[in-house]
A and B are shown apart, each in its own frame.
Chain A
Amino acid sequence: MFSFLLRRVIAALGTLLLSSVMVFLAVQALPGDVATQVLGRDATPDAVAALRKQMGLDQPAWERYADWIKGALHGDFGTSLVTTKPVGGEVAQYLGNSAMIAVVTVLFAVTGSVVLGVVAGLYRDRWPDHLISTVSLVGMSVPEFVVATVLVLAFSVTVPVLPAVVLYGPGAGFGQLLPAVWLPAASLAIVMAAYIVRMARTSVIDVMASEYVTTARLKGLTTWRVVTRHALPSALLPTLHVIALNVAWLVGGVAVVENVFNYPGIGKLMLTSVQNRDLPVIQAIALISAVVYVVCNLAADLGSMALNPKLRTRGGRIR
């Protein structure tokens, strides 16, 4: 148990380091650099050269990376090359805004889709299953910006009850952002829920066909009890991993939706930063995304352990 945890933590740290290196290399490979992107087409060559020097871009790439890692270990993520504000505070602000969307999305998408998936699994090949499966298949196939655009048309343009875009900057308050959270969250929830529904349905079908469920039924237990006590815990095991991956996707994958709604979240910050070649910000976001991925996966593994008696015993192994 302990060694398992230790191995997971070491693997997690390795993943973080590796991802920071890969992001750094990827950004180096982007055409153009921050000096030309920041100053734009108006810039005189002298101005570009001066800015490059001022930003330390004339130093070798590995030196800049080493500086950054050293700072990050001390909790200092450097300053943004564009706004010259500390990266840590800036990222935290945007992350906080995105968290509002994420919380709403997770609450609705996870609970709703698990329930729908279980219902579909229990009513396999009957009309509730057909309905849920078809709708979730559509949800899965339609890109989030289409869902978002349709929602804007419905709830901002045709029946104007919710804002189509956020007009405030990243410093917007909770009250200002609250009305703007629902449409982005709904767009993400619809796309995300589809996967969880499909997974939950399949797991429930598998489990309900298994021998121990048959045994439990033969013992004369009620369907309700069979489902809640015997089938669900096992059925949720594989679903947990899908949920974990989707929650992690929320952090990195909201970029498109946040852009459609002009929502001042981490996804929008990432887009702007990549476009500006704002290296310290990109790296900080990448590191945070990696942390979220690792933590979500770790949580899913621990959740699996809690749900699966076999894994709770000593020497139990994760497949």
Chain B
Amino acid sequence: MSPLMPEISHRPAPGGAGIPRRSVLTTAAAAVAALGGSAALTGCSGAASASPSRAVPTRGPAGRPDRGGTLRIARPPASDAETLDPASALSAYEYLGALYNRLVRIAPDGTVAPDLAESWEPDAKASTWTFRLRRGVTFHDGRAFTSADAAYTLRHILDKATASPQAPVLSPLVDPGRLRTPDAHTLVVPLKSPHAEFPSLLTHYNCYVVPEGSAGSIGRTGIGTGPFRLVSFTAAGPGRVTAYADHWAGRPVLDTIDFYTVADMQARSNALLAGQVDLLSQTNLDFATARVVAASDRATIARAENAQWYVLPMLTTEKPFTDPRVRQAMKLAYDPAHILKAALQGAGTAGWDNPVPPNDPAHIATHPAHDPEKARHLLKRAGHERLAVDLYTSSYDPIFTPMALAYQESAGRAGIRIRVKTAAADSYYTQIWMKKPLMATYWYTGRPVDQLLNQVFRGGSSYNETAWSDKEFDALLDRARREIDEGRRRELYGQAQTLVVERGGAITPMFADRLVGISRKVRGYAEHGFEFDYLHIGLKGA
């Protein structure tokens, strides 16, 4: 299930969380399959766990990989209409990092790091950005990479015909007609309004650089500057990429990566257990399955730390959440540590209603303490002394329901009655998300703080899942964008986070580690946010 697509099955949309199309089963089938599948497997592991520790490992196998070999990756399909066009909403995500490069990427410490751009600087007001591009880079067809390709990529994303999910983020800032390429290795981006964090917006996975004039063919050819070049690709089917020896950062460790498409999460983990594949991408295994995998001779678990954040969004336009006191009470009433323990068995970090990940440089750690008494008091003042609300969940993600039940229990101690309702998984993101006043969802981390706060919390943004609109908050974001001084900018983003925590509609109990199933032969697995290290991953003894 695959929730699915536990399958997932899920996809790092700008919306971050999985997309409904990822889960393949109808809800009933998904529920029983997941239940039955993992129950049967767990039973087996119980018998087989002669190993002293049943704990799920925190790291993948250590050591260096051997050169060469073929890595087999099982992935959930984006759709039967998948494409290799990185800008598209239907891009086959796993291929992108192998085939392409961006101008900039996100480093493990959350800062913006060079990729095809070696350096970048704003003018005095941060209203024009100049990117110095790497020299001697070639596309897979032998053409040299120049500033014209970089400018074309931005225009392609902004083109209405592409319908790119990143277009709404960039179009208020970038006028495609005003992009300048003074020489082959310089790209000048004049902005419509100043933005001191602009390069961070280009770290998104929709922003991979494609060759000039390739809009019509890139979805099939996959010609990029990345460490691998395309051998074959089938939408929602198998495909293969092979090492690109002339890659500017050196040859990758692996010779080949085979991608296979397995929509159902249980089927995906069975393929790993049976030794048919080496890595399950975009798959957060549930704990029962993770233990079985970890106990296996062939496979084990690696973690992508704090890879996703879980949310119970309250629609601030629906009663009773129109009242900020009720929203505040809903947050003070529950204990994030309890939910982290109950729903994730501790594999993550307590969120304390702040969606900015702990490893982001802009993250602020201060938050109000868990206070059920104050919650009671606030509800009384708001006239909702015996508050009872529906909380929607589904089998779309294996954590949704445990999280909902843990919240129900924790908030219950403050006198809030939560009725947990299970909705169909396959239409969850079209019928429940942003429609019901209170529901469960998640996002992939890896968005820079400016994009995160603007996309998910700014009034009127299409991904503002709580429909929260706060003039003071929006003004803070505007000020932060104009602020050149990095220290003061951090401070402003910190204040914005405080407003989200105190007034916003999002209950954010936790950041969850993604439990990634990998073969015991895999070495050098590293993944954070939307970054997957295709260059250094390899196999031992393959």
Contacts and interface: CB of A to CB of B under 8 A. Distances in A.
Interface in A186-219: none
A40 B36 contact: no
B21 A143 contact: no
B20 A37 contact: yes
Given A169-B261, A272-B263, A275-B26, A157 B273 contact: yes
B512 interface: no
A144 to B, nearest CB: 10
B33 A145 contact: yes
B337 to A, nearest CB: 30
Given A32-B427, A32-B430, A37-B430, A42 B89 contact: yes
Interface residues of A, number: 51
Q: Which one of B21, B89, B260, B261 has the greatest number of beta carbons of chain A within 10 Å?
A: B21
B365 interface: no
Given A165-B267, A167-B262, A168-B238, A41 B274 contact: no
B444 to A, nearest CB: 12
A103 interface: no
A19 interface: no
Interface string B6-48: 0000010111011111011110010011001100110010000
B270 A164 contact: yes
Interface in A30-78: 30-32, 36-47, 50
Contact of A44 (B72, B168, B429, B433): B168
A38 B81 contact: yes
Contacts of A246: none
A163 interface: yes
Given A39-B89, A40-B13, A83-B80, A259 B273 contact: no
Interface in B233-268: 234-238, 260-264, 266-268
Given A164-B271, A271-B26, A32 B262 contact: no
B462 interface: yes
Interface stretch (A107-115, A121-129, A147-155): A147-155
A165 B262 contact: yes
Nearest to B433: A41
Contacts of A171: 234, 237
Contact of B263 (A37, A42, A262): A262
A43 B12 CA distance: 13
B267 A259 contact: yes
A276 B89 contact: no
Contact of B81 (A83, A156, A169): A83
B89 A259 contact: no
Given A82-B81, A170-B237, A31 B17 contact: no
Contacts of B268: 165
Interface string B78-96: 1111000000011000000
B415 interface: no
A145 B21 contact: no
Contacts of A40: 11, 13, 19-21, 78-79, 89-90, 429
B427 A149 contact: no
B24 A145 contact: no
B405 interface: no
Interface in B38-88: 40-41, 44, 72, 74, 78-81
A149 B163 contact: no
A163 B276 CA distance: 7
Given A42-B15, A271-B29, A163 B274 contact: yes
A259 B25 contact: yes
A261 interface: yes
A276 B78 CA distance: 11
Contacts of A152: 270, 274
B270 A42 contact: no
Contact of B79 (A30, A38, A45, A271): A38
Nearest to A40: B19
Interface residues of B, number: 63
A299 interface: no
B426 interface: yes
A42 B431 contact: no
B176 interface: no
A260 B266 contact: yes
B50 to A, nearest CB: 14
A271 B37 contact: no
Interface string A269-308: 0011011101000000000000000000000000000000
A160 interface: yes
B433 A167 contact: no
A232 to B, nearest CB: 38
Interface string A249-271: 00000011001111000001001
Contacts of A259: 24-25, 29, 33, 263-264, 267
Contact of A164 (B15, B23, B168, B274): B274
Contacts of A39: 89-90, 163
A64 to B, nearest CB: 20
B36 A149 contact: yes
Contacts of B160: 46
Contact of B274 (A46, A50, A150, A157): A157
B167 A44 contact: yes
B424 interface: yes
Contacts of A44: 163, 165, 167-168, 462
A221 interface: no
Given A42-B19, A46-B163, A271-B24, A153 B431 contact: no
A149 B20 contact: no
A9 interface: no
Contact of B276 (A84, A164, A271): A164
Contacts of B41: 149, 153
Interface string A125-144: 00000000000000000010
A178 interface: no
A83 B429 CA distance: 21
A42 B14 contact: yes
B36 A143 contact: yes
Interface in B302-356: none
B488 to A, nearest CB: 34
A82 to B, nearest CB: 5
B37 A41 contact: no
B40 A146 contact: yes
A248 B542 CA distance: 45
Nearest to B38: A149
Contacts of B21: 37-38, 40, 275-276
B277 interface: yes
A90 to B, nearest CB: 10
Given A37-B21, A44-B168, 18 more contacts: A32-B431, A37-B430, A39-B163, A40-B13, A41-B17, A44-B163, A44-B167, A82-B80, A145-B36, A157-B296, A165-B267, A167-B260, A167-B262, A167-B276, A256-B33, A259-B29, A275-B426, A278-B80
The 3 closest A-B pairs by CB, nearest first: A169-B237, A40-B19, A164-B274
19 contacts: A32-B430, A38-B90, A40-B19, A42-B89, A47-B163, A143-B32, A143-B36, A153-B40, A157-B270, A164-B271, A164-B276, A165-B268, A165-B270, A167-B72, A170-B237, A171-B234, A259-B263, A274-B426, A276-B80
